[in-house]
Every structure is written in structure tokens, then in C-alpha cells.
Amino acid sequence: MSTPSLLTPPVRPEFERSLEPLGGIAPVQPLPLAARIWQQAWVRKLVILAVLAVLWEVVARWQDNDLLLPTFLQTAKALVEGLASGELIAKTAISLSVLLKGYFAGILGAFLLTTLAVSTQFGRDLLSTLTSMFNPLPAIALLPLALLWFGLGQGSLVFVLVHSVLWPLALNTYAGFQSVPETLRMAGRNYGLTGIRYVLQILVPAALPSILSGLKIGWAFAWRTLIAAELVFGASSGKGGLGWYIFQNRNELYTDKVFAGLVLVILIGLAVESLGFHTLERLTVRRWGVSR
């Protein structure tokens, strides 16, 4: 038989410990100015671009062959002259007008396919079959057929652009729809949402990170396909956008203008990524707390 002293736990005395005042030390120390500047993403990207430009200049001067590799300063001069003369601006306007037509047509087609896929079993089989057939097919390989079907016009370019955007965007969007939690699906059904309202009000907001990823991939595929297609399209019809500008100057051995066209393609891609998609992510999925 145990004694009462073993059953009763010991009582520990309570005490308070006062903390010493901080004095003149601020609870939060502000970061140095250099650290605050380095936290800006655009500053870090500019530093990376500057380093690449310096490496380009050093390698070009070491090789000392303007025909094979012009220096960064020569390319920058050709780019500024092309923009000042208006030639590059006109070529860019042609390319972007065609690109936007094909891009938005591909977005519309992908949205219709994925809406059908999440609504019916036939739609899921259709999306799976079509993506397995056409997604591995390079868009530029369809250009000869597009020229036969649509002739020497913008219709041929728009056709191959739709092909380059449609399938990766449809796959990403459908994967995003499949990852929507069942709780949100049940909430939508409880509110009586069906069809297009169910897709727009429940599935699209929840799957927006995957949709944005598909939009980025589709934009990159479309931009690359357009420049490659314009090389063939421009050579066939005598006109075109940035791809034709690059092709024409390559034939005339103006390598600095060729690099100027390539640099402009890169700058447009960086601008769309930073000002377009990054802003859209900041205003939607990051503000909603869907992604970090």
C-alpha cells in the first residue's frame, strides 16, 4: 500500500522574472540600403543581363570575327538604328498582331476542350486522344500543309500558332481542374452550379496556377513557332515580321542585324513575362494565397 506522499505531486513555487529593458536598441533593425535594393527582383535580373552582356563582349572581342559573332556594342548599335528607323518597330507590330490572333484562338479552343472534358466522359476521351495524337507533332511541321490549305497569308501562321498553343494549354488546364479539391466541387454542386457556371466559378479560380503555367508554356511555344514559321513564310511571300527580318539580314551577311533581331525577340519575351504574367500572378493567385 502506497503512502500519501507518493501519490501527491510536489508543488513548485511560482516566481516572476523581470526582463531587462532594451534601452536604446531598436527591436527591429532596418536592412542596409544595398540589401533592400538587392531584394528587388528586377535589380537581380538586370545584374544577370549585365553579366551576360559583358561575357558576350569579351568573347566577341577575343574571337575578333564580326561575321561570326559581332560584339554586344555592335549589336546594340544595330538594334538602336533599327528601332530609330522604324523598320524593327514595323516588323515587331506584324509579328505581334499575328501572334495575338493565334494565341487567343488557341486559348479559346483549349477552354472549350477542357470544359467538355470535365463535363462528359466523351469529352475526356476526346481530349486524351487528340493530345496524344497532336501534342508531340511539331507545329512548324504543319506549315507546308497550312500553306496549301490557307495560302500565302496570315491564315497559315495563325493555324500553326493555334496548334502550338492549344495542346499544352489544354493539358495544363485539365490537370489543374483534376487537382481541384472535392470539397470545392461539392460546394459548387450544393449551390446548384452546373455547366459553364460551374467551370467559371469553381474550377477556374481553384486551378488558376496550372492555367497560368499553361498560358506561359503556350506563349513560349507560340513565340518560337512564329519566328521559325516567318522564316519560311517570309521567304515564300516576300514579307513578314521579325523572323523575315532575321532571315533577310542573314542572307545579306548583316550579322549584327541578325543578332539585333534575336535580342529584340528575347526582350519582348522578358517584357511579357515580367509585365504580363508576373503582374497577373501577383493580382490573382498570390493575392488569394493559392501560391507563394
Nearest to 95, CA basis, from 214, 250, 269, 255: 269
The model's confidence at residue 105, banded by pLDDT at 50, 70 and 90, is very high
Instruction: Estimate to the nearest angstrom the gap between the alpha carbon of 188 and the chain centroid.
Output: 30
Cell of 23: 534601452
Whole-model pTM: value is 0.76
Instruction: State the Cα–Cα distance between residues 229 and 138, nearest whole angstrom.
Output: 11
222 CB burial (10 A radius; 0-12, 13-18, 19+)? buried
C-alpha cell at position 33: 540600403
Q: Identify residue 134 by its one-letter amino acid code.
A: F
Q: Has residue 234 got a pLDDT over 60? A: no
Residue 140 grid cell = 512548324
- pLDDT level of residue 2 (50, 70, 90 thresholds): low
Cell of 107: 486559348
pLDDT of 55 > 90? The answer is yes
Q: Binning pLDDT at 50, 70 and 90, where does residue 239 land? A: low
List C-alpha distances in Å: 49 to 56, 80, 108, 248, 259.
Answer: 10, 18, 35, 27, 16
3-state secondary structure of 291: coil
pLDDT digits (tens, 9 = 90+) for 118-138: 778 888 888 889 888 888 888
Mean pLDDT of the chain: 82
